[in-house]
A and B are shown apart, each in its own frame.
Chain A
C-alpha cells in the first residue's frame, strides 16, 4: 500500500529526514513514534504530498506521490497535527465542503456526511458552529473530514495531542473503530497510544528510522531488551504499583523500550 524508498528531506541546510525506507501493507495499523522534532510530521506531509521529498520516492497504492499527487490524494484521508477547521463554519457545512473538494459524488454527499457524523459520534453537533466546540469534538470533526471520502489510507498526525484524558480515550476508541479494512498511519509521541492501537511500530530519531518492527516483536525480542532481567529490582517496584507482568517474566512497556533506544542512540552519538 505504502512504499517509501530512501526518502530524504532537507529544509535549507537542516536535515529533517535521512534515507527513510519502509513498506506498509494494506490493512496495517502503523504507529510512527518519535520525540518532537524527530521528523514525524515531515514524513506525514511527504506521504500526503503536501511537501516534496528532496530525494527518494514514495508510492501509495502504486502511484508516485510526487508525480501523480492528485490520484494519491484521492486515496488518502489526512488529519494534520492541528485539526484543519474553519471556526466560522457549521460542522455540516464544513463536511460538505470537504466532500466537494474530495471528489465525493454529489448524489452521495449527504449520505456520506451522515455516515461519518455517526461514525465519529458527532451527529448531535452537526448544526453547531465549529468555534463553539470543545477540543475533543473539534478533533472528531477533523477525523470526520479525513474519512469523508472513505480513504484507503488514513494518516493521523498526533490525533490526541492537547486533549484531556477522557477526550483521549474517546478519540482512541474512534480510531480503533475506523481501522477496519483501512491502512492507518498514526504519528504520536504518546507511547501508550501505539501500544493500544498499532500493530507495527516505526521509530524515528533525528530523521532516521531506527526501529521498524511489529509491536509484539519490539516488546518481546528486540536485542536491546535482552537485559530486561538486569532491571528486575526496578521492575519489581513497578509491578507493585501496577505495571504489567504477563506471566513469562517482566514485560517492558513501550515507554521503557523507547527510552532505552533513545538513550542508546545518544550514547552512540557521544562515542
Chain B
C-alpha cells in the first residue's frame, strides 16, 4: 500500500514539476468557467446539469493529454526497467500511477465545487442532483483516466498513446449516436457501452447501481488490461 502512495506521489510531483499540470489546470478551469457563466446566463436556473455535460465532453480532450505519458514516458526513458526490477508488484505500479492521475482529475473536479456555492447563493438548487452530478463527472473522469493509462502502456510514443485514447474515448462517448442504425442485442450493447447513457442519469440526480457498476467495471477492466500489457513487455 505504501508503494502505491509512493508511486502516486511521484506521479503528481512529476506533473507539477512540469508546466503541463499548470497549463491543464488553468486551461480546463478557464474553459469550465466560461461555459458555467454562459450556461447559467442562458438557462437562468439553479442547476449544474448542463455544466456537467460540458465538463464530461471536455474531459474527452483533456484526459488523454494528461495520461499519455503515464507509461509511455517510463518506457522511452528506461525507467520502466527500474520500476519493474524493484520488489514492487505490477499491480502496485499500475494502481500507484492510476491514483496519481486520478488525484489530479479529482483536483480539477474539486475546483469546480465553487459553482455549487455560486448557484446556492443566488438560487435554490437541488442539492441531491448536484451531488449525483459530481459523482457522475468524477466517475466519468476516473474511467477516462483508466482508458488513457491503458493506451499509454501500449507504446513508448506519447502522441500515439494520446491518439489511441482519443479513438477509444470518442467511440465510447459518441457510440450512442449510432444506436439508431442497429437493433436487438447490438443496439442494447451499444447503448450499454456508451458513457452518455450512464452519465445522463447522474446529471438528473439518479444514482443507480447499474451505472456505478458500469464505471467501476470499466475502470477495473482497464487496470487489469494495463497490468497485462506491462507484463507482456518484450516477451513476444
Show the binding face of A for B, using Cβ within 8 Å. 11-12, 45, 48-52, 70-71, 73-74, 76, 78, 80-89, 93, 97-98, 100-103, 145
Residues of B within 8 A of A (CB): 2-3, 6-7, 10, 13-14, 17-18, 77-79, 81-89, 233-236
In the docked arrangement, what's the CA distance between A51 and B85, Å? 10
Q: Which chain A residues border B82 with CB–CB below 8 Å?
A: 78, 80, 84, 98, 145
A-B interface, 4 closest residue pairs, ranked by CB to CB distance from nearest: A84-B82, A82-B78, A101-B86, A88-B17
Residues of B close to A93: CB separation below 8 A: 13
Q: Is the CB of B17 within 8 A of A73?
A: no
Interface secondary structure of A, over-half rule: loop
In the complex the two chains form, what is the Cα distance from A53 to B7 in whole Å?
A: 28
The chain B residue sitting closest to A72, CB to CB, is B87
Q: What separation, in Å, do the CA atoms of A82 and B78 have in the docked complex?
A: 7
What 19 new A-B contacts, CB under 8 Å, besides A70-B87, A84-B79, A84-B82? A12-B236, A45-B234, A51-B233, A71-B87, A74-B87, A76-B85, A80-B82, A81-B78, A82-B77, A84-B78, A84-B81, A84-B83, A88-B17, A89-B17, A93-B13, A98-B86, A100-B3, A101-B86, A102-B87
Q: Please name all residues of chain A whose beta carbon is closer than 8 Å to the beta carbon of B2 when the two chains form the complex.
A: 100
A193 to chain B, nearest CB (A): 21
CA distance A98 to B7 in the complex (A): 10
Determine the distance from Cα of A101 to Cα of B83 in the docked complex, in whole angstroms.
8
A11: chain B residues within 8 A (beta carbon): 234, 236
Q: A48: which of B77, B79, B85 is its contact (CB, 8 Å)?
A: B85
Q: Which residues of B contact A78 (CB under 8 A)?
A: 81-82, 85
Q: Known: A84-B78, A145-B82. Is A101-B236 also a contact (CB below 8 A)?
A: no
Which partner residue on chain B sits nearest A101 by CB separation? B86
Task: Judge whether B78 and A52 touch: CB under 8 Å.
Answer: no
Some 30 contacts from A to B, beta carbons below 8 A apart, are A12-B236, A45-B234, A48-B85, A50-B84, A51-B233, A70-B87, A70-B89, A71-B87, A73-B85, A78-B81, A78-B82, A80-B82, A80-B85, A81-B78, A83-B78, A84-B77, A84-B81, A84-B82, A84-B83, A85-B77, A86-B14, A88-B13, A88-B17, A89-B10, A97-B6, A97-B10, A100-B2, A101-B88, A102-B86, A103-B87
- Distance in angstroms between the alpha carbons of A8 and B88 in the assembled complex: 26
Closest CB-CB distance, A12 to chain B, in whole Å? 6
Determine the distance from Cα of A76 to Cα of B94 in the docked complex, in whole angstroms.
22
Identify the closest chain B residue to A88 (Cβ): B17
> A residues within 8 A CB of B83?
84, 101
Instruction: Name which residue of chain B comes closest to A12, CB basis.
Output: B236
Contact A101/B87 with A11-B236, A12-B236, A84-B82 known, Cβ cut-off 8 Å:
yes
Smallest Cβ-Cβ distance to A100: which chain B residue: B6
Q: Which residue of A lies closest to B15 (CB)?
A: A88
